[in-house]
Amino acid sequence: MTAQLIDGNALSKQLRAEVAQRAATLRARGITPGLAVVQVGENPASQVYVRNKVKACEDNGLHSVLEHYPATLPEADLLARIDALNKNPAIHGVLVQLPLPPHIDAQKVIQAISPAKDVDGFHVASAGALMVGLPGFRPCTPYGCMKMLESLNAGKGYDLRGKHAVVIGRSNIVGKPLALMLLQKNATVTICHSATQNLKAMTLQADVIVAAVGKRNVLTADMVKPGAVVIDVGMNRNDEGKLCGDVDFEGVRQVAGYITPVPGGVGPMTITMLLVNTLEAAERS
C-alpha cells in the first residue's frame, strides 16, 4: 500500500479562489476585507511568515497592513497600537506575529485583540467558543487540518464518527484546539506528546494520527495502523538542511491510507485559513 497524498497546495488554491470570489462580493458592497499584521523584532522565521501572509492577502482581494516595530518597542506602545487597530473600521482582522521579545507579555497582547478581530483564534473568547461549540474563529493550523480531512474521499470528507484520533502534541496552538474540533465530529481523541509512555501502542490503535511536536521522526512506519490518515504539522530540517516534518514520510507512506507531505501539506493551509477567518470577520462586520 502506498498512501494517497493530501495535497495542501491544491486544496489551498481551491479555498483561496473561494475567498477571492467572496471578497469581490464584499468589495461590490463597499467593504474590502482588511488584515493588520504586527511584527515586533527581527525574527527571521517571523519575517518569512509575515511576508507570506501579506502576499496571500494581496493575491486574493484582501487589504493588508504590515506594521513592523523594533524589538525595543515598549509593551504599552504595542497595546496602544492594538487598541487603535481594534477601533479601525477598515481593519477586520488583527494578527500579532509570535514570538514577541521577552519583555512583552504575549498573553496580555493576545487578550488585547478584540475577539471580533481575533483571526488567529488565540483569544480566550475564541477558545471558549470552540470549547462549547459556538461560532467563533478557529486557530488556523488545526482549522486547516480539519479542512484537509473534509477534502478526502473526492470531497465527501472523512467520516470521523466513532473513529480514534491520536494527536501527538498538546500545545494550545495546535494540539488542544484540534482535539476539540475532532471531538465535535464525534471522534474519540487521545492527546499524547513525545514523552508519552508506549506511544506506539496508542498510535497503532488510531484511525487518524496528527503529529505536531516539532521533532523529526516522532512517528515511524511501525507505529501506524495500515490505512490510517496521517497529518504532519511538524516543520523541521533534516541532515541535508531540507524541510521535513515530524513523520518519517518515506516509511509511513508505505503503510498509511492518506498522508500529508512536508512541505506542501499543512503549511499552505494555515495561511489559507487565516484568509478565511479574515473574510468571515469582514462578512460579520
User: Which are the catalytic amino acids?
Assistant: 53, 97, 120
Collapsed DSSP state (helix, strand, coil) of residue 36: strand
User: What is the DSSP track for 88-152?
Assistant: -TT--EEEEPSPPPTTS-HHHHHHHS-GGG-TTS-SHHHHHHHHHT-S-PPPHHHHHHHHHHHTT
Q: Using only C-alpha atoms, what is the Rg of the chain?
A: 19
CA gap 277, 136 in Å, rounded = 9
CB proximity list for 55: less than 8 A, separation 6 or greater: none
For residue 235, what is the DSSP state? Answer: -
Q: Which secondary structure element, helix H or strand E, spans residue 29, and what is its range?
A: none
